[in-house]
Amino acid sequence: MPSLGSDMETGTLIEWQKKPGDTVSRGDIVAVVETQKGAIEIEAYDDGVLESHLVDIGKPVPVGTPLAIIQTPDSGVKSAPDRATTAPTQASGEISSPREPVTVDVAGGLTQDAARGGAEGGRQKISPAARKLAAELDIDITRVSGSGPQGAIVLRDVRSGAQRDERGSSLADSASRLQDGTVGTAAESTTLKTATSEMRSAIAAAMARSKREIPHYYLSQTLDISCADQWLATLNSERDPSQRILLGALLLKAVATACVKYPEFNGTFDNGVFSPAASVHAGMAINLRGGGLVAPAIHDTHELDIDGVMIRMRDLIQRVRGGRFRASELADPTITVSSLGERGVQSLYGVIYPPQVAIVGFGTPTLRPWVGEGGVLEARLLMDMTLAADHRVSDGHRGALFLRHIRQNIESPGDL
Amino acid sequence: MNATQRAVQEELHRIAPDIEFESIDADEDLREEFDMDSMDFLHLVTALGKRFGVPMPEADYPRMSSYNALCSYLDEVIE
C-alpha cells in the first residue's frame, strides 16, 4: 500500500486489475486503491508475473503493507511477506511506492462547497466496495451522502454513516485534533473522520506543515497577454475543437521551460537539504466538483511541445474529474502551477505544497488600462502572475528573474 | 424540448452531473451556471461539434454564452 499523502495511514483496495498468473510490465495498473483523494490507480514498478494477491478487497490496510507478489525474471519467486507487517518493504517485486508521498495542492480554490455533491442529479453513484459494505451493514444507501468524485458514495461514507449515531461529535473531534496538530492513529482516522472532512484534513495537514516549516516569500508581476491571446486565437481558428489549445497549457509550458534555467524552484526540500529535480514534473492544481482539489503532475512538461502539454492536460483533468488517476502522477510533482483563471480573481497567492519549494499562481485575464511601449495608454488583456517560493532555497532576486523568464516565455509563445 | 435542447442538456449533464438543469437560469452565463472552467467548456464544444458535425469556431464562443444562446446558435448553424 503506497503512501499517497503524508497524512495517509491506511488505504483500501477496491479493485484488482491483474489476477494471479497475469503478466505485468512496469507502469501497468495492477490495482485501484480508495483514498481521501478518490480512487488511485497503483502501477507496477517491475516487469514480471503476478503471483498472488495478499490483500482482500474492501479491507483497510496500513501504508507499507504488501498488496501482491510479482515474480520478476531476475528475482525468482518471492516468498510471501508477513501480512501483518506495517513497515514499508522495498524488496523488488512487491508493489509499493518508492516515491515521496504527498500532493493535494492548495493554493486558492480550497473553499469549494463540499456539500454540493452530485447526489441530487440523477442516479446516485456508488463504488462497488461501498455497495458491498452497505449491504453487509444493512445501511440504506439512499440515506448516505456521497463524498467521492461527482458525489459518488465511497467506503468512508458508508462507514461514517454507520458510526454517526454512536459518534455524533466526530467532526468536532477531528477538527480539534487538527488544531492541536496531533494526528490520530490509523484506526481512529478511518473511523472518526467524517466523509466531508477527510480531504479537508489532508489539505489542512499539508498546508499547516507548509506554513509551519516553509519560510515563504511572495512576488507578483502583471503581464500583458494580448499577444499570447491573439497567438492562441489564430492557432485555434483553424483547428477542430478537439485540437484546440487552452491558455492554461501555454502557462504550464512557460513555467516548465523557465524551471530548466532556474532549478532552485524545481525540486524538493527534505531533512534540511534541497534536491533539484532532474526533470520538470509540473503539478497542475485541479478543483474537484465535489469539493477540494488535487495537483497531479504532468511528467516531463519541459520536454513536451504545446500540443503535447495540452493533450496531457486534457487527459489528466478528465481522469481526475472521473475520479481515477495514477499514484505516480499524484506523488511526484516538482513545482505546482495554480490558476483561478476564470473566477474573476485578480491574484492568487499560493501555499507551497511540501516538499516542493515553489508555486506559481495565475489570476484571471482582464481588459485593463496599460501604458505600453511609446507611453501610449491602451486597454490590454492583463494577467497577474505570482510566485510563492521557499526562502531556504532561493531569494527574491532569483525569484524575480524566474518570473521575468516566465513572462518572456508567455509573451513570445511561438518560441516555446 | 427539441432535439438540440435534449442534446445540449445531455452533454451538460455529462460535464456537470451535480447541477440540476431546473435550477439554472437559461439566459445567464453558461459557465457560471454550470460551474464550468475553460476545459469543461472545451469538452462541451468538442462533444456538440462532433454530435452535430459543425465546427464550433472560437470566434463564435460569444454566441454560446448562455444555455438559450447556445441552443439558438446550434439551431442556426445546423440548418
A3 in Cβ contact with A35 (< 8 Å) = no
Look at residue B50 in the predicted model and tell me its pLDDT. 95
Amino acid letter, A273: V
For residue A167, pLDDT beyond 90: no
Look at residue A150 in the predicted model and tell me its pLDDT. 67
Binary contact (B35, A289; C-beta < 8 A) = yes
Q: Where are the beta strands (DSSP E) in A192-252?
A: 216-224
A253/A114: higher pLDDT: A253
Question: Which residues in B lie closer than 8 A to residue A120 (C-beta atoms)?
Answer: 18, 20
Look at residue A273 in the predicted model and tell me its pLDDT. 96
> Closest residue of B to A114, CA-based?
B18
Cα–Cα dist A5/A35, whole Å: 9
Kindly report the average pLDDT of chain A as a whole number.
78
For residue A129, pLDDT beyond 90: no
Kindly report the average pLDDT of chain B as a whole number.
93
Q: What tens digit of pLDDT does each residue of B33-43 get? A: 998 989 999 99
For residue A329, pLDDT beyond 90: no
What phi and psi, each to the nearest 5 degrees, are found at residue A253? -65, -40
For residue A101, pLDDT beyond 70: no
Look up the CATH architecture of domain B3-78. Answer: Orthogonal Bundle (1.10)
Look at residue A79 in the predicted model and tell me its pLDDT. 39
Across A92-101, A120-129, A289-298, A377-386, the highest mean pLDDT is recorded for A377-386
For the stretch A237-271, what's the b/e string if a residue is b when 16 or more beta carbons lie within 10 angstroms of its beta carbon? eeeebeebbbbbbbbbbbbbbbbeebbbbbbbbee
Across A9-23, A86-100, B8-22, the highest mean pLDDT is recorded for B8-22
* Beta-strand pair A335-339/A358-362: parallel
Question: Which residues in B lie closer than 8 A to residue A150 (C-beta atoms)?
Answer: 17-18
Look at residue A69 in the predicted model and tell me its pLDDT. 87
Look at residue A115 in the predicted model and tell me its pLDDT. 32
Q: Which of 3.40.50.300, 3.40.630.10, 3.40.190.10, 3.30.559.10 would CATH assign to domain A215-415?
A: 3.30.559.10
Rounded to 10 deg, the angle between the A396-411 and A247-261 helix axes is: 130
Binary contact (B38, A247; C-beta < 8 A) = yes
Question: Which residues in B lie closer than 8 A to residue A240 (C-beta atoms)?
Answer: 46, 49, 55
Q: What is the distance in angstroms between the Cα of B35 and the nearest Cα belonging to chain A?
A: 8
Give the gyration radius of chain B's Cα atoms.
Answer: 11
Indicate the SS3 state at residue A413: helix
DSSP A266-297: SEEEETTEEEE-SS--EEE-EE-TTS-EE--E
Amino acid letter, A283: G
Q: In what order do the strands lie in the sheet with A68-71?
A: A23-24, A48-53, A68-71
Share of chain A above pLDDT 70, in %: 74
Look at residue A253 in the predicted model and tell me its pLDDT. 97
For residue A204, pLDDT beyond 80: yes
Look at residue A30 in the predicted model and tell me its pLDDT. 87
Say which of B35, B46, B58 has its CB closest to residue A233.
B58
Indicate the SS3 state at residue A53: strand
pLDDT-based confidence at residue A186 (cuts at 50, 70, 90): very low
Binary contact (A289, B13; C-beta < 8 A) = no
Cell of A368: 485593463
Which of A76-80, A153-157, A257-261, A309-313 is the least confident region? A76-80
For residue A254, pLDDT beyond 50: yes
Binary contact (B19, A241; C-beta < 8 A) = no
Say which of B17, B49, B58 has its CB closest to residue A237.
B58
Instruction: Tally C-beta pairs within 8 A across A and B.
Output: 58
Look at residue A120 in the predicted model and tell me its pLDDT. 37
Say which of A116, A241, A318 has its CB closest to residue B45.
A241
Cα–Cα dist A199/A196, whole Å: 7
For residue A94, pLDDT beyond 50: no
Which of A25-29, A63-67, A119-123, A274-278 is the least confident region? A119-123
Neighbours of A396 (CB within 10 A): 13
- Domain map of chain B by residue range? 3-78
pLDDT-based confidence at residue A197 (cuts at 50, 70, 90): low
Look at residue A37 in the predicted model and tell me its pLDDT. 66
Residue A114 CB partners (closer than 8 Å, separation 6+): A147, A196, A199, A200, A290, A291, A292
Look up the CATH architecture of domain A114-209. Answer: Irregular (4.10)
Q: Which of 2.40.50.100, 3.40.190.10, 3.40.718.10, 3.10.450.630 would CATH assign to domain A10-71?
A: 2.40.50.100
Cα–Cα dist A27/A332, whole Å: 15
- Domain map of chain A by residue range? 10-71, 114-209, 215-415
